Structure 1
Amino acid sequence: MAATSHTPATAPGAQPQPPLGLRERKKLRTRVAIRKATYRLIAEQGYDATTIEQIAEAAEVSPSTVFRYFATKEDIVLTDEYDPVMEASLRSRPADEPPLLSVRVMMIESLSSFIDMESEELRQRTRLMVEVPAIRARMTETMSDTAKLLSKVLADRSGRSADDLQIRVFIAAVLGALREVTLYWGEQGQTGDLVAMINEAMDTLEGGLLL
């Protein structure tokens, strides 16, 4: 998912998110300013040449503020504001709906919103995922936070523990599929319909690999 310059949009069918307080809005604006400055600098001079000091100057904050919001430069590229949107979308699905269908709808809604509002950021992020090994490695690490969030949603509606092995494996498989589709799309020059590719990946998870 990706960052936005405003409160994240609510995915279709999801429960509206409560408005952010003044402090939260200021934090969000700072995060977005840092991220946009980072993408602009990377586009101009490349990933390796872009430093935290340059990012701070471009975003009009101190380097310590950058590190307060993002632990690493990779996190600036990868972190977004869409986890709450994904959570709300998944929680809005019928409790008796098959989990894979619920997750598929959530992913398609969230990705479509992402593409509509931040298409260029998605493309730049994907290019960096393909080109920069450190970003690919960090992406795998940061996905664990999203996995925990989504696992808890499925656990809540099923009455199981969020640490239930089946739930963890299920969510890991879904997010792994999302990661591989995104990388594949990037490796192919970002050609083709990304949403259709996600749907195809979900079909594979549902029906198994047919050789």
Structure 2
Amino acid sequence: MSPRTSTSDRLRRTALRMFAEQGFDAVPVTEIARAAGVSHMTFFRHFPTKESVVVADMFDPLIAEAVRAQPRRWRPLTRAVRGLVAAMSQEQAREEMSSQEFLERVRLAAGTPSLSAAVRAASQDTERAIAEALIVPGVDDAAARAAAGAIMGAATGLLLAWADGTTSADDAVTALSRGLLTLLGES
């Protein structure tokens, strides 16, 4: 593991622990950096904002590639659903989404009003990546954007239900996969 990766991991773990203990809004970046044993400038070399510790999504390229790999003859919504389900089945995504940290991040994002803009921005980035992957010759831009918006809206609702325990699924991947497949009339 590179020093940069271990510093990022240490900063993220420290920040999430402090957010859980004190609340997101009560913890300044300077305290996170101090607790992690680095300067606040080092924090900003790893995370552009305090919010990005919670909402950063490293899987947008993975999702876009999985959507792009789906058969072009399928409708945009089918390609989007199948692509996202395929992306989540990859080992790296499955490992991340099954971690306690992932659950904590989703709960923190859902329960912290001051994070709502950052959550929306991260969701829009993912939605844009999916839409761009869906736009191919013969596919209307509006259909691609509608499919991307539908899948992100569904995924957000499904993740929130999973994080607050209102779904019977044990893990995020199962909750998302089952829920997203209902958009295609499957379960």
**TM tier, smaller:** 0.7 to 0.9
Question: Cα–Cα, structure 1 residues 115 and 39, in superposed 2: closer, same or farther, change >3 Å?
Answer: farther
RMSD after superposition: 2.9
Separation in 2, partners of 1:191, 1:47: 28
Note if 1:35 corresponds to 2:12: yes
| 1:78 shift after superposition | 0.7
Q: Is the 8 A contact 1:130 1:187 kept in 2?
A: no
Change (3 A) 1:146 1:204: same
**Does structure 1 residue 67 correspond to structure 2 residue 47?**
no
Whether the 8 Å contact between 1:123 and 1:190 is mirrored in structure 2 is no
Q: What is the rounded CA distance, in whole Å, between the counterparts of 1:26 and 1:98 in structure 2? A: 44
- Listed one character per residue, the Cα deviations across residues 32-54 of structure 1 (whole Å, up to 9, x for unaligned) are 44322212322444433322012
Please state if 1:83 is matched with 2:53: no
Give the distance between the partners of 1:32 and 1:109, measured in 2 at CA: 26
TM-score (norm 2): 0.77
Give the equivalent residue in structure 2 for 1:21.
none
Of residues 167, 180, 189, the one that matches 2:157 is 180
> Which ranges of 4 or more aligned residues in structure 1 deviate by more than 6 Å?
none
Q: Does 1:131 align with 2:128?
A: no
Contact 2:11 2:33 in 1 (8 A): yes
What 5-or-longer segments of structure 2 have no aligned partner? none
> Whole-Å Cα distance in 1 between the matches of residues 14 and 156 of structure 2?
25
Structure-to-structure mapping, 1:114-153, within 5 angstroms: 114-117=93-96, 119-153=99-133
* 1:15 aligned partner: none
> Counterpart of 2:95 in structure 1: which amino acid?
D
Number of corresponding residues: 181
Q: Structure 1, unaligned stretches of length 5 or more? A: 1-5, 7-24
